[in-house]
């Protein structure tokens, strides 16, 4: 939990001192090797009191059996595309999970996310979604292409927010965690690479720490509130083949480093075959890894942002 979300426990001046010392989350403070030396501006007794308040705040609250039964009986909702082969591959991927969708530019990452979300919104009036746009290019008109003539009201349940840096995403997530008036069933971050990549440098571990905290918060949100969270990631070159790693036989791999993949519950990889005679954009969807289902692969057509099955004669 980020300390910025508990300003009612720690005064802003002391929060600023802690942040300057690299103490950003409750774990940073509670497990710091020597917090007293890191933040000399705050008296030891005061730091100890903050630690006590944080432990009390983050400790699990007791649940009665009725509440517990409601928590564990959430209905699992898989990602649903309407394309049979794709749905078979994705059958174990869905709610209460953070799912990475990676691929090169033009492989249909945003189209796949839109396709999944618009189908979910159309099929269930209780579904609502938050689209976090990190590039400022979210298009409501593109969403309308997935809707029928009298379905424009579906967009009322799709909220879009712009977040150009990690702090803006943290603010959105913190607000969701405490807001009981509106909470989405789906969250999409398009794309997470633009936010995290500038922070990852060889000279400092702070960027990796921010990435770890962000992904941990996303997974906590997904599990606590039964959300489906899609994080879109770009691709980068894969110059060295390491048999012990995923994508060992591919010239491309997801961006943000090998550790990022294991911060999610599943990784979906989109790619285009080198040669194809099929009309339209022939694309391959591969479930590379998942905590809850076996890997698999499906091929499909992407035409004007719409997904469809390949002709049987072209499938292998």
Strand-strand pairing, 235-237 and 228-233: unpaired
CATH code (residue 217): 3.40.50.300
Confidence tier at 274 by pLDDT (50, 70, 90): low
Q: What is the pLDDT of residue 268?
A: 95
Same domain, 46 and 190: no
Task: Tell which phi-psi region holds residue 104, choosing left (phi > 0), alpha (psi between -120 and 50) or beta.
Answer: beta
Same domain, 20 and 87: no
Go through the chain and tell me how many residues it has.
316
Average pLDDT over residues 209-214: 89
Q: Are residues 43 and 150 in the same domain?
A: no
Give the phi and the psi of residue 60 in degrees, each rounded to 5. Answer: -65, 135
The pTM for the full model equals 0.78
Q: How many domains does the chain have?
A: 2
Query: Measuring CA to CA, which residue among 83, 90, 141 is closest to residue 115?
Result: 83
On whether both 79 and 111 belong to a single domain, the answer is yes
The answer to whether residue 63 sits within a structural domain is no
Could you tell me what percent of the chain has a pLDDT over 90?
A: 30
Do 207 and 264 lie in a common domain? yes
Chain Cα centroid distance, residue 238? 23
Same domain as 77, residue 221: yes
Same domain, 122 and 223: yes
Mean pLDDT comparison of 9-13, 99-103, 295-299, highest-scoring range? 99-103
- Evaluated on CA atoms 162, 167, 169, 172, the torsion sign reads negative
Residue ending a domain, choose from 58, 79, 102: 58
Alpha helices in the chain (DSSP H): 12-20, 26-30, 35-38, 44-58, 65-72, 84-89, 109-123, 140-144, 166-178, 193-196, 206-225, 258-261
pLDDT exceeds cutoff 80 at 297:
yes
In a domain, 157, yes or no: yes
pLDDT (0 to 100) of residue 245: 64
Q: Pick from 2, 5, 9: which is nearest to 25 by CA?
A: 2
- Residues 57-77 have a mean pLDDT of 60
Note whether residue 239 is domain-resident: yes
Same domain membership, residue 153 and residue 44: no
Q: What is the DSSP letter of 312?
A: G
- Exposed/middle/buried for 296, CB within 10 Å: 0-12, 13-18, 19+? middle
Residue 111, domain extent? 69-314
Residues 31 and 74 in one domain: no
pLDDT at 174: 84
Mean pLDDT of all residues in 209-218: 90
In a domain, 64, yes or no: no
């Amino acid at each position: 939990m980020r300390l910025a979300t508990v300003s009612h426990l720690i005064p802003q001046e002391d929060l600023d001192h802690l942040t300057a010392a690299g103490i950003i989350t409750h774990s940073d403070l509670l497990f710091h090797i020597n917090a007293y030396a890191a933040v000399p501006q705050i008296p030891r007794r005061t730091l100890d009191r903050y630690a006590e308040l944080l432990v009390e705040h983050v400790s699990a609250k007791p649940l009665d059996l009725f509440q517990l039964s409601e928590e564990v009986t959430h209905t699992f909702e898989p990602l649903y595309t309407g394309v049979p082969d794709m749905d078979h591959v994705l059958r174990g991927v869905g709610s209460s999970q953070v799912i990475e969708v990676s691929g090169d530019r033009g492989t249909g990452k945003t189209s796949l996310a839109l396709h999944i979300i618009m189908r979910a919104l159309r099929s269930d009036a209780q579904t609502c979604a938050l689209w976090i746009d990190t590039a400022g290019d979210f298009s409501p008109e593109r969403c309308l292409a997935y809707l029928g003539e009298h379905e424009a009201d579906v967009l009322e349940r799709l909220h879009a927010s712009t977040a150009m840096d990690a702090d803006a995403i943290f603010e959105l997530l913190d607000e969701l965690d405490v807001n009981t008036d509106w909470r989405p069933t789906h969250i999409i971050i398009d794309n997470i690479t633009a936010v995290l990549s500038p922070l990852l440098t060889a000279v400092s571990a702070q960027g990796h720490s921010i990435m770890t905290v962000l992904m941990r918060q996303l997974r906590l949100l997904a599990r606590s509130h039964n959300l489906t969270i899609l994080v879109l990631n770009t691709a980068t070159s894969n110059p060295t083949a390491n048999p012990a790693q995923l994508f060992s036989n591919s010239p491309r791999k997801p961006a943000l480093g090998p550790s990022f993949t294991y911060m999610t519950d599943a990784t979906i990889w989109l790619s285009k075959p080198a040669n194809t005679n099929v009309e339209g954009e022939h694309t391959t969807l591969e479930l590379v890894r998942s905590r809850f289902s076996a890997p698999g692969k499906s091929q499909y057509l992407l035409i004007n942002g719409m997904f469809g099955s390949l002709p049987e004669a072209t499938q292998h």
